[in-house]
Structure 1
Amino acid sequence: MSAPRGWRPAELVADRFETASARTLRLRVADWPGHLPGQHIDVRLTAPDGYHAERSYSLAAPFDGEFVEITVQRVTDGEVSGYLVDGLPVGASIEIRGPVGGWFVWDPARPAPAVLVAGGSGIVPIAAMLRARRKAMADSPFRVVYVLRDPGSLFYRDELADEEIFLAYTRAAPPGDPRLPGRLTLEELREHTLPPGPEVTCYVCGPTGFVEATAAQLVSLGHAPGAVRTERFG
């Protein structure tokens, strides 16, 4: 897809809350060049006095003409995330730049088997890959592991219910969940992912500590380091 070419206006045309603190924004961007699932955009807010604040957000959905979607998790004292979650009204515009990134991507034009591991809001680019695979009607095998604190922090609840996903709650699990809350284990990762192979690529997204630990576990299971692609935050 095309490289970034400066800031573009993006109008908020629809929204929905995924959790009490996470909001998906559907933006209309004229002449959007397209993007691949896994890429991100830069968002810029400008105050009346000219002060700029910028943050990067993963794209939550595959290429859809002039529309792009991001899901923003409110961060304590976050000047950008707080406004995007609580203050930006439908019909208002912000500025975006992108798409950005070419390593952490899954290309639906060349579908390949993938292991997708998300920690918390790291599910956003993973969801874009799932949606792109579904849209392309690709039959390449996916295995998805989603690690999250509790049921209240689950993004895309209804949509993910239709996917084969292993949910690993770390602090509190929903009633009836056979798994006790706790960290994802090596054996769980082995059981719920694809075995290593020359065509298998692993994608891991989430907080830095989670990503580093999970990437090391995947390598210990036999995946080549170059086949483990990571995207981290925090």
Structure 2
Amino acid sequence: MATASSWQTGVVTAIGEETPHAKTFRLRLAEPRTHRAGQFYVVRLTAPDGYHAQRDYSVASAPGGEHIELTVEKLPDGEVSAFLHDVVRVGDTLQVRGPIGRFFSWDGDAPVLGVAGGSGVVPLMSMLRLARGAGRPGLMRLVVSVRSPEDLYYADEITGPETTVVYTRRGPAGGSRPIGRLTAEDLRPLAEADRDVYVCGSQGFCDAATGLLADVGIEEKRIRVSRFGPTG
């Protein structure tokens, strides 16, 4: 039986385009394990000469079932992300290990606020889908900061009364919020004392967001942060 520390095979059953630079890969696991919203899997590639390359990718799908969905951004010179985008097709198999990451995970049993920068929305989307699937969408509130509408992951699904999208460079026609970076005023109406906060994004985004959360009165002990770097 597969465990979180053992490698297993995942068959690619679907590939969907989220943005011009991001795709979601749906995998059917040989030995499924129920993940917690917010966790990730490691994907490993093996060359004919035995060389290995591996990267961590957050799970976007809600917990449950034999499938997981991993959303991957193609990065410049990204060794693994470029292979997934350019080479992998439906029916191919991938080696995966997980789920991993208890600290940045959520069971859907208490209200939370998610704050995401760009591709940092992926693990928070798993949380949003969990809350919506349980018929309790108000448990998960989400703020996503992106440069433009073309950069918004899950655009056909993510919008709703429990989500706020902040456009920093260019917004959709008729948008009510001025274009610009995330501010304390964006977070203040959503920051409640009983909500833990999950922040995910680049180092710079996470540092700025945690500072804004402090400005609106969120205690540091209630904030969980997942930072990512430019590995591909």
Give TM-score, length-normalised by structure 2: 0.93
In 2, the alpha carbon distance for the partners of 1:163 and 1:17 equals 24
* 1:181 aligned onto 2:179: yes
Amino acid at match of 2:175: D
CA contact (8 A) 2:127 2:140 kept: no
- C-alpha distance 59-118 of structure 1, shift in aligned 2 (>3 A): same
Matched residue, 1:12: 12
Matched residue, 1:207: 202
Mark the runs of 5 or more structure 1 residues left unpaired by the alignment.
none
Following TM superposition, by how much is the alpha carbon of 1:140 offset from its aligned partner in structure 2, in angstroms? 4.8
Amino acid at match of 2:58: S
Following TM superposition, by how much is the alpha carbon of 1:139 offset from its aligned partner in structure 2, in angstroms? 5.6
Matched residue, 1:231: 226
CA contact (8 A) 1:3 1:100 kept: no
In 2, the alpha carbon distance for the partners of 1:12 and 1:222 equals 44
Following TM superposition, by how much is the alpha carbon of 1:54 offset from its aligned partner in structure 2, in angstroms? 0.6
Matched residue, 2:120: 122
CA contact (8 A) 2:131 2:139 kept: no
Following TM superposition, by how much is the alpha carbon of 1:167 offset from its aligned partner in structure 2, in angstroms? 1.1
Give runs of ≥4 in structure 1 deviating > 3 Å.
Answer: none
Amino acid at match of 1:209: G
* 1:49 aligned onto 2:46: no
Q: How many residues align?
A: 228
Matched residue, 1:69: 69
Following TM superposition, by how much is the alpha carbon of 1:166 offset from its aligned partner in structure 2, in angstroms? 1.3
Amino acid at match of 1:183: R
* 1:27 aligned onto 2:24: no
1:31-54 deviations in Å (ceiling 9; x for gaps) = 222110000011101111211111
Q: Secondary structure at the match of 1:131?
A: helix
In 1, the alpha carbon distance for the partners of 2:186 and 2:210 equals 14
In 2, the alpha carbon distance for the partners of 1:18 and 1:30 equals 26
Amino acid at match of 1:60: A
- The 5-angstrom pairing of residues 103-182 of structure 1 reads 103-108=103-108, 111-138=109-136, 140-182=138-180
Amino acid at match of 1:190: R
Amino acid at match of 1:152: E
Q: Secondary structure at the match of 1:189?
A: helix
- C-alpha distance 86-163 of structure 1, shift in aligned 2 (>3 A): farther
- C-alpha distance 104-86 of structure 1, shift in aligned 2 (>3 A): same
In 2, the alpha carbon distance for the partners of 1:194 and 1:51 equals 47
**Sequence identity of aligned pairs in percent?**
43
Amino acid at match of 2:184: L
1:24-77 deviations in Å (ceiling 9; x for gaps) = 000011222211000001110111121111100000012232211100011011
CA contact (8 A) 1:143 1:194 kept: no
In 1, the alpha carbon distance for the partners of 2:144 and 2:34 equals 27
Give TM-score, length-normalised by structure 1: 0.92
In 2, the alpha carbon distance for the partners of 1:185 and 1:223 equals 14
Following TM superposition, by how much is the alpha carbon of 1:120 offset from its aligned partner in structure 2, in angstroms? 0.1
Amino acid at match of 2:135: M
